[in-house]
Every structure is written in C-alpha cells, then in structure tokens.
C-alpha cells in the first residue's frame, strides 16, 4: 500500500501541518517526561491502527530510554507489573480519550479524579492536548495510508 497524498504538496494542508507541529512543540516543552509522552502516543496509535505513528512512537520511546519490555507491554498494560500507578492512570486516560465511539462517556470521572491526583494543572492540560493531537495525527496517517517501518528517531527535530 502506497501513501495516498503528501500534505506538503497542498499549500493549505502545509500551513495546517506547520501549525500542528508548533502545537506539538509546546507539549514537548511541558514537564511531562518524554518517555511518558511516547507511551501515551504509542498506545493511542496502537488503538487507532496507525502504523506510521506506532513506528514513530516506538522508536522515539526507545530513544527516550523506555525499555523494550515496557514498549512491548504497553498494549496490555492492565495485565503487567511494569507500569507505575501514575502511568497506569495516564494509559487509562489515553484509552478512554481515544475510544470515544466505544465508550460513549469518554473519560470517566474515576479516571479523571485519579489523573488529577497524580498530575498538576500544567501536566493535565498537556495530557489533554497530547491525547487529542495524537488522535488527530493517527487519523491523518490512516486516511493517507502512511506506512510504518522507515522512521528514524529524531527525524521530526529537523523540522525546528
């Protein structure tokens, strides 16, 4: 399967992509650890079936110091012992914020309360945007048939 379209070939889409990237840079500058951000983005990408995004966040997670074990087990995090309570809350938040069609309630009050227990206002705000933006990126990747497998860690840093 070949990618359908290069967004940078469209003046309007290229403008949106530039602004989307700028928003992601703001999230990167938050106090959320990079490894946690990569786990969130990897989990959402797995759920949404975006091969390109899974490739990106698997490799960026490894580059950020995540172990192969934790990266491999993120899809089954509920049945593992390798994630902290705070990380488990973030993964639950990610899933509930991603599976909106599957769980009409969205993020449950229980998950929200647990998130607020572990993370400050700035981190919660960053997490809300992170989950929202990775879901948007996943949809773009799936719509365009962007393929995983060839991403090199740090490639997006060249866009700065």
Q: Where are the domains of the chain?
A: 33-151
Q: Was domain 33-151 assigned CATH 3.30.450.40?
A: no
- Report, in angstroms and rounded to the nearest whole number, the Rg of the chain calculated over CA atoms: 16
**Sign of the C-alpha dihedral computed for residues 74, 77, 83 and 85 taken in this order:** positive
Spell out the alpha helix ranges (H) of 3-147.
11-28, 34-48, 51-63, 68-73, 85-98, 109-118, 121-144
Separation of first and last alpha carbons in the chain:
30
- pLDDT tens profile 49-104: 999 999 999 999 999 999 999 999 999 999 999 999 999 999 999 999 999 988 67
DSSP state for residue 80 in the 8-state scheme: -
Return the number of other C-beta atoms located less than 10 Å from residue 109's C-beta. 8
Q: Residues 5-36: pLDDT tens digits?
A: 999 899 999 999 999 999 999 999 999 999 99
Half-sphere exposure of 129 (CA within 13 A, CB side): 17
Of 68, 67, 65, 92, nearest to 78 (Cα)?
92
Contact 135, 44 (CB under 8 A): yes
């Amino acid at each position: 399967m070949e990618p359908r379209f290069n967004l940078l070939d469209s003046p309007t889409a290229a403008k949106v992509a530039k602004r989307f990237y700028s928003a992601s840079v703001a999230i990167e500058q938050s106090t959320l650890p990079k490894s946690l951000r990569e786990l969130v983005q990897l989990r959402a990408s797995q759920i949404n079936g975006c091969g390109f995004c899974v490739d990106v966040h698997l490799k960026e997670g490894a580059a950020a110091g995540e172990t192969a074990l934790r990266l491999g087990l993120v899809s089954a995090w509920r049945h593992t012992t390798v994630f902290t309570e705070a990380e488990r809350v973030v993964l639950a938040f990610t899933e509930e914020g991603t599976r909106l069609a599957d769980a009409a309630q969205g993020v449950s009050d229980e998950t929200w309360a647990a998130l607020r227990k572990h993370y400050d206002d700035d981190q919660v705000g960053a997490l809300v945007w992170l989950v929202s933006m990775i879901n948007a990126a996943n949809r773009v990747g799936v719509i365009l048939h962007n393929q995983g497998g060839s991403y090199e860690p740090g490639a997006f840093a060249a866009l700065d």
